[in-house]
Amino acid sequence: MLYDSSNIFARILREEIACDKVFENDHVLAFKDISPQAPQHILIIPKGDYCNFHDFHENAPALLINEFYRTIRLVIQQCHLEKNGYRLITNCGVDSGQIVDHYHVHLLGGKNLGSLIVS
């Protein structure tokens, strides 16, 4: 799959579209989901042209991969989600229902999320 730079998260990275920013550094941006599915629902994205999990792990430099997951942990701490827990989700491809083709991880928390639903 070729990366399409017109996707909504690429536009957020280019600041063409506003977002409710939670954290940013040179490599990663975290912002609130526009349609939250939990009291805390944050999207964490690498700053790079990666379509999904596979693309990121096949093509991103090891340092960026390391920095990405290190930052997810920082955001979890910043949101005070460690004590009561949280869920990380990444959708990949058509069967997952992935809507935005820029690699992202959903961080959900702030209530008991129940069991994982697969419908």
Q: Which residues are catalytic?
A: 104
Q: To which residue do tokens 């989600």 refer? A: 81
Look at residues 11, 57, 68 and name the one whose alpha carbon lies nearest to residue 34: 11
Least distance to ligand 5GP from the beta carbon of 95, Å?
Answer: 12
The continuous run of DSSP H or E covering 32 comes out as strand 28-32
Residue 50 binds ligand 5GP (CB under 6 A): no
**Closest separation in Å from C-beta 37 to ligand 5GP:** 7
Q: Does 35 bind ligand 5GP (CB under 6 A)?
A: yes
Q: Interacting stretch for ligand 5GP, rule CB under 6 A, among 26-34, 64-72, 78-86, 108-116?
A: 26-34
Residues 78-117 that bind ligand 5GP (CB under 6 A): 91, 97-100
- Check if the beta carbon of residue 88 is closer than 8 Å to that of residue 72: yes
89-112: burial string, b at 16+ Cβ within 10 Å, e else: eebbeeeeebebbbbbbbbbbeee
Q: Which stretch binds ligand 5GP (CB under 6 A): 32-40, 46-54, 55-63, 74-82?
A: 32-40
Write out the H or E segment, with its range, that includes residue 2: none
Positions touching ligand 5GP (CB under 6 A) are 8, 17, 19, 31-35, 43, 91, 97-100
